[in-house]
């Protein structure tokens, strides 16, 4: 390195200065602490060259120094004045709309500009940065630095460092905004104005090529810095929500999720009520913050799921995602409805993560039920061995009490799971049935203690019937709106309606695979009967008189769909074949031209389905378009037909079909 008394080489590497800077920063504990601050580090980088030069060297480099008030600009100012420039140019220090200094007052030194940035006086700082940047560009175009590239590199680096300092200040302002009780509206407004000015002055400038590493005059993309700062702020706010240790509180996760909801809704309301007005509409501030918090919460929940969670913790997480996050206490808050568009947000948890969470919950629930039933066996065994005589309470009373406890336990978990998702409620019943089927034989093997499983068998029956009703109720809710479209114009035009019905039916019937025979077959038969019954119910409803051509099309389509229904249920394993001809009979009656044939079809349906009533036949004939007298002559013979038909208690179809209240044609 050259001695202090010697002039610096024009091509001296900045690495030497960097080496000295590092040694100076490490010279004392105080300096080490200062170096940890980005602002302090920048200040030391900007001021180092001045501190290490001798007075002689300072004098020699006075015209190009960037660490003090630039005397080149001062001389230019006076020279312009002497040549007749306006006095106003010398005294006007205002900032114009483009963010540039309009007066001829000397530009501030780099250190002075940086001090403005640290004081958050961004408008004044940007005006000086812009003037400094323009000066560097002008001098480069004038080829001033051809013989002194180090000087250009130094000035370009100063501009870049100052711009980076502004970017850091934007990040700091955004991060600190939500931490403060009161919003500094003037500071936010000045930040937004600086971002706008920078975008305007660099609007026509293309990003530099990879060979132009100095980047002087290039767009700084401070709006992107702001967006990233918003995301970082949301992540920090979510990360700082209090969370207890599991060892300190069994409900640690439920408590933490409660705090998370409270903190996030408070921040979102603050953004809506106080921050939004400080930004132009094109920033879409509320939407940006909502997206950022959504992403931060998603990542946070996924991190929580990396921990080994127990049943109650899995339940708390599921409940929060389903029942809290989109509720009126958070994203669905009435004051946020105009700003929060949940339909535009991605899933809070990725599909794979969500599916795994539900699976973990079901697995944990199965373990809990199994553990509960195992404890019953252990307690019974321990109690029986200790007692030399039977307890005063009779075995029957004990079994009744035990079955009630089990039923209450299962019912509680069924209801709690149902509050989250219907599929989890169904899964709870599936798990309960499976575990009870394993438990009852094990308890029955305790022959030493004369254990009676009758009451537990009743519990299993009750749970099974509850499961049966639950599945069918869910199927009805899913398919009722679809069945109402049968025989409408929309139904005539495509096959999507029945396809949707059968798709939902197949999906629900998948739950039945957990059941043993013959229960599985019984359930499947119920589902099969429901689909056929509901189809017929809709088909015989009153409607406008159909012309012959349409009746033929309707009849043909009904028979085709009857075949589709039969095929699907046969693939599922249904063996109730007696249901298959019901829709065919009705379709034949509706489409048949020959009235003698109609009578034959009626005779056949009465023989096959003894529970069919005159009202059902009248409704079908009305749909066919027969007038009252012709219907009456046909219906009179139904009583005799039904007398000769053999009834079967397990083959009831029409008995469950309500007849239309109005059967006359419109």
Model confidence over 318-362: pLDDT tens digits? 999 999 999 999 999 999 998 898 898 999 999 999 999 999 999
Around Cβ 128, how many Cβ atoms within 10 Å?
23
Assess whether the previous peptide bond of 77 is cis (omega < 30° from 0): no
Per-residue pLDDT at 18: 37
Closest by CA to 369, choosing from 464, 433, 459, is 433
Longest dimension (CA), the chain: 130
Q: Is the pLDDT of residue 122 over 90?
A: yes
CA distance 302 to 294: 12
Query: What DSSP state is assigned to residue 333?
Result: -
The position carrying tokens 């936010």 is 188
* Dihedral sign from CA coordinates of 249, 254, 259, 263: positive
More confident residue, 466 or 25: 466
Q: Is the pLDDT of residue 565 over 60?
A: yes
Least confident of 77-81, 507-511, 655-659: 77-81
Q: Is the pLDDT of residue 317 over 90?
A: yes
* pLDDT tens profile 517-547: 666 778 888 899 999 999 999 998 887 778 8
pTM of the model: 0.66
Mean pLDDT score, 252-258: 96
Give the end-to-end CA distance of the chain in Å, rounded to a whole number: 107
CA distance 280 to 260: 29
Per-residue pLDDT at 48: 40
- Measured in degrees and rounded to the nearest 5, phi and psi for residue 95 equal -105, 125
Cα 605 to chain centroid distance, Å, stands at 53
Around Cβ 148, how many Cβ atoms within 10 Å?
13
CA distance 560 to 587: 10
CB-based contact 332:326 (threshold 8 Å): yes
């Amino acid at each position: 390195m050259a001695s202090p008394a010697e002039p610096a080489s024009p091509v001296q590497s900045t690495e030497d200065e960097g080496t000295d800077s590092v040694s100076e920063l490490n010279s004392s504990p105080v300096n080490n602490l200062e170096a940890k601050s980005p602002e302090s580090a920048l200040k030391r980088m900007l001021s180092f060259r001045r501190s290490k030069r001798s007075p002689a060297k300072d004098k020699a480099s006075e015209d190009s120094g960037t660490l003090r008030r630039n005397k080149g600009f001062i001389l230019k100012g006076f020279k312009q004045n002497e040549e007749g420039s306006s006095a106003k140019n010398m005294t006007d220090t205002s900032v114009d709309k483009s963010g540039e200094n309009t007066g001829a007052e000397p530009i501030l030194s780099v250190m002075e500009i940086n001090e403005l940035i640290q004081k958050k006086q961004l408008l004044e700082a940007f005006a000086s940065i812009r003037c400094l940047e323009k000066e560097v560009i002008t001098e480069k175009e004038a080829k001033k630095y051809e013989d002194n590239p180090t000087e250009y590199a130094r000035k370009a680096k100063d501009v870049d460092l100052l711009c980076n300092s502004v970017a850091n200040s934007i990040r700091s302002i955004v991060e600190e905004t939500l931490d403060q009780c009161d919003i500094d509206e003037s500071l936010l407004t000045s930040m937004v104005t600086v971002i706008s000015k920078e975008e305007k002055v660099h609007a026509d400038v293309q990003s530099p090529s990879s060979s132009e590493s100095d980047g002087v005059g290039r767009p700084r993309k401070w709006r992107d810095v702001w967006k990233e700062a918003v995301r970082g702020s949301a992540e920090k706010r979510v990360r700082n929500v209090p969370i207890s240790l599991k060892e300190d509180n069994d409900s640690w996760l439920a408590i933490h999720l409660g705090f998370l909801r409270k903190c996030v809704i408070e921040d979102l309301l603050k953004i809506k009520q106080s921050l939004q007005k400080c930004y132009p509409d094109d920033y879409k501030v509320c939407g940006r913050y909502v997206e950022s918090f959504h992403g931060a919460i998603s990542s946070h929940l996924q991190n929580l799921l990396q921990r080994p969670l127990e049943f109650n913790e899995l339940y708390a997480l599921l409940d929060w995602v389903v029942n809290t996050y989109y509720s009126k206490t958070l994203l669905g808050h009435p004051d946020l409805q105009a700003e929060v568009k949940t339909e535009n947000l991605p899933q809070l948890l990725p599909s794979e993560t969500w599916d795994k969470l539900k699976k973990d919950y079901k697995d944990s629930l199965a373990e809990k039920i199994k553990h509960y039933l195992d404890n019953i066996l252990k307690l019974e065994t321990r109690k029986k061995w200790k007692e030399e005589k039977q307890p005063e309470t009779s075995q029957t009373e004990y079994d009744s009490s035990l079955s009630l406890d089990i039923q209450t336990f299962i019912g509680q978990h069924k209801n709690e799971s149902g509050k989250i998702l219907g599929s989890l409620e169904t899964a709870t019943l599936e798990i309960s049935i499976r575990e009870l089927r394993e438990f009852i034989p094990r308890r029955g093997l305790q022959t030493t203690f004369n254990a009676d499983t009758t009451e537990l068998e009743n519990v299993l029956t009750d749970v099974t019937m509850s499961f049966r009703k639950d599945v069918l109720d869910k199927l009805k809710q899913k398919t009722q709106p679809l069945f109402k479209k049968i025989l409408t114009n929309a139904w005539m035009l495509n096959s999507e309606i029945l396809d949707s019905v059968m798709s939902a039916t197949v999906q629900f019937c998948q739950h039945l695979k957990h059941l043993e025979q013959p229960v599985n077959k019984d359930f499947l038969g119920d589902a099969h009967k429901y689909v056929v019954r509901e189809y017929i119910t809709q088909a015989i409803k009153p409607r406008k008189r159909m012309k012959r051509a349409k009746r033929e099309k309707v009849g043909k389509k009904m028979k085709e769909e009857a075949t589709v229904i039969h095929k699907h249920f046969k693939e599922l394993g249904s063996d109730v074949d007696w249901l298959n001809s019901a829709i065919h009979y009705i379709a034949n009656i509706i489409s048949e031209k020959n009235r003698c044939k109609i009578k034959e079809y009626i005779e056949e349906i009465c023989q096959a389905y003894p529970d069919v009533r005159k009202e059902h036949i009248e409704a079908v004939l009305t749909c066919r378009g027969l007038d009252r007298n012709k219907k009456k002559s046909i219906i009179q013979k139904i009583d005799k037909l039904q007398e000769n038909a053999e009834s079967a208690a397990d083959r009831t179809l029409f008995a469950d079909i309500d007849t239309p209240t109005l059967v006359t044609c419109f």
